[in-house]
Amino acid sequence: MDSLRVRIRSGASRNRFAAIAATTTLVLGLTAACGSSGGSTSGSADSGTIHVLVYGDSGNTVEQQIVDTFNKTSKVKAVLYTIPGADYQSKLNTIINTPQAPDIFFNWGGGSIAPYVKDNLLLPLDSMIAKDPGLKDNFLPSVFNTAVVDGKSYGIPMRGTQPVLLFDNKQVLASAGLSVPQTWNDLLGDVAVLKAKGITPIALGGGDQWPTQMWFEYIYDRVAGPGLFEQALAGDKAAWSSPDSVKALGMVKQLVDAGAFGSNFDSVKFTDGGSPALLAKGRAAFELMGSWEYSTEQSSDPDFAKNGLGWSAFPAIPGGKGDPADIVGNTNNFYSVLKKTQHPDAVAAFLKLMYSDEFVQAQLAIGNLPTTTNTPTFLSTSASPGYSQFQFNLVKAAPSFQLSWDQAYPPAATTTIHTAVQEFFDGKTDTNGFIQAMQSLATS
């Protein structure tokens, strides 16, 4: 009886083992099949495709549309790949010198491509421009120049411009009897009134760190003019310890100490929707943010975007050296080309589409503001004509359009800058600490 049971048992086990082995073979086969079909590794050497790598977000519909348009007429086919936002720069860096590298890739110009230029990976576009001057002349110069490194052009603007604006909740301002601040003192006055009413004056996604940096960018520009940062970026580290720099830091401190940002801003983020929600729900009155604030609010609270959201230029600082018309932000995003591309002519044909009417209209339709010279013709077709017109005039009239600090410096500097601005806001670093942190950055 017992031995019978043992035999049955071991028989069952053997069958089970056979089953496991069979499943295993099946699964491994399946995996191998999936492994070879997925992904983007087929390299750009195979005949007739160019790979386009783009920052993955809601704007990708336009990029796909342009790729489709291109593929209708071109023999060489374009293929679009995206990498989701937060990790774009780091993933790009890891693949750019491997066989998985794309032919054309999205970037922010400036420091974001400088290391690749230095490593001789990028194709200067000047000879393409010589053949087709439209690749340069059809774009606003202040924008186009962001992707010029050492006198050579490396990028073609491919999305909308993203100046940083001071957004407000119109209803909150109205009920507090306030108007949009024109000067620094207006701003401080508004802060005091709002604070007394128990409203956080300014929403800040301090957890993300880069929103904090925007305050430094504007205050430095208004106090010292754009020259200070340009000098510092060019390697003149003394610029950071100049009297203007110290003065700007003093004003940042003044604003923080006035309670302008409340007390829990470091636990709030823009990226997870925290700070835009504070503004939309009327729990804060202002937010300094890139022009994408509009589409962010529109997707989470369309009604507020349409009726409650106000916007203005950053206030003037009387006595400062900066022009109140100066703006900061991301001038645009750019397509850059890798030197190793097998199809430079197809690439040139593809880049040409970035000033086509179709491109401009498609970008405007999703709320982006292209920086081509033919953009004004189509402004009325924009998702929100008034907002687009305001931005376009601002960008066109700006004597200086300073690229965000973390984009102007090479990517390796980002963490240091972000930590420095956050710790200065927290009071963990003083003026000297901040200056030293900025002076420690490698410039080129």
How far is it, in rounded angstroms, from Cα 313 to Cα 182?
8
**Measured distance CA(125)–CA(336) in Å, rounded:** 9
H-type alpha helices, 80-209: 88-95, 114-118, 126-131, 134-137, 141-144, 170-175, 184-196
Q: How far is the CB of 293 from another protein (least distance, A)?
A: 13
Q: Which is nearer to another protein, 256 or 360 (CB)?
A: 256
Please answer whether residues 157 and 354 qualify as being in contact, where contact means their C-beta atoms are separated by less than 8 angstroms. Answer: yes
Which position has the token pair 């044909």? Answer: 349
The candidate with the shortest Cα–Cα distance to 71, out of 349, 334, 359, is: 349
Of 8, 15, 19, 23, the residue at the interface with another protein (CB under 8 A) is: 23
Q: Are 110 and 89 in contact (CB under 8 A)?
A: no
Q: Which is nearer to another protein, 20 or 130 (CB)?
A: 20
Q: In this chain, which of 167, 265, 314, 335 binds another protein, going by CB under 8 A? A: 265
Position among 8, 15, 19, 36 found at the interface with another protein (CB under 8 A): 36
Contacts to another protein from residues 285-324, by CB under 8 A: 300-301
The answer to whether residue 440 forms part of the interface with another protein (CB under 8 A) is: no
Looking at beta carbons only, is 204 or 219 nearer to another protein? 204
Assign 421 to helix, strand or coil: helix
Q: Return the residues of window 376-395 that contact another protein according to CB under 8 A.
A: none
Taking the complex as a whole, the smallest distance from the CB of residue 252 to another protein amounts, in Å, to: 16
Closer CB to another protein, 113 or 317, in the complex: 113
Shortest CB 107 distance to another protein, Å:
14
The minimum distance between CB 324 and another protein, in angstroms, equals 32
Span of 69-77, 90-98, 126-134, 173-181 interacting with another protein by CB under 8 A: 90-98
DSSP state of 378: H
CB of 86 to another protein, least distance (A): 4
Q: Shortest distance, CB of residue 141 to another protein, whole angstroms? A: 30
**For another protein, which is the closer residue by CB, 89 or 382?**
89
For residue 51, state whether it binds another protein (rule: CB under 8 A).
no
Q: Which of 8, 10, 141, 357 binds another protein (CB under 8 A)?
A: 10
- List Cβ neighbours of 153 (8 Å cut-off, separation of 6 or more): 124, 125, 126, 129, 136, 144, 147
Rounded Cα–Cα distance for residues 40 and 92 (Å)? 13
Number of residues in contact with another protein under rule CB under 8 A? 75
Residue 266 binds another protein (CB under 8 A): yes
Stretch touching another protein by CB under 8 A, among 81-89, 191-199, 287-295, 376-384: 81-89
Q: What is the rounded distance in angstroms from the CA atom of residue 188 to the CA atom of residue 211?
A: 19
Taking the least distance from each CB to another protein, the nearer of 300 and 432 is 300
Which residues from 171-210 bind another protein, rule CB under 8 A? 206-207, 209
Instruction: Work out the angle at residue 48's Cα, subtended by the Cα atoms of residues 46 and 52, and round it to the nearest 5 degrees.
Output: 90
- Show Cβ contacts of residue 395 under 8 Å, excluding neighbours closer than 6 positions: 140, 142, 143, 161, 163, 327, 369, 371, 401
Query: How far apart are the C-alpha atoms of 231 and 233, rounded to whole Å?
Result: 5
The single residue among 49, 100, 330, 341 that binds another protein, judged by CB under 8 A, is 100
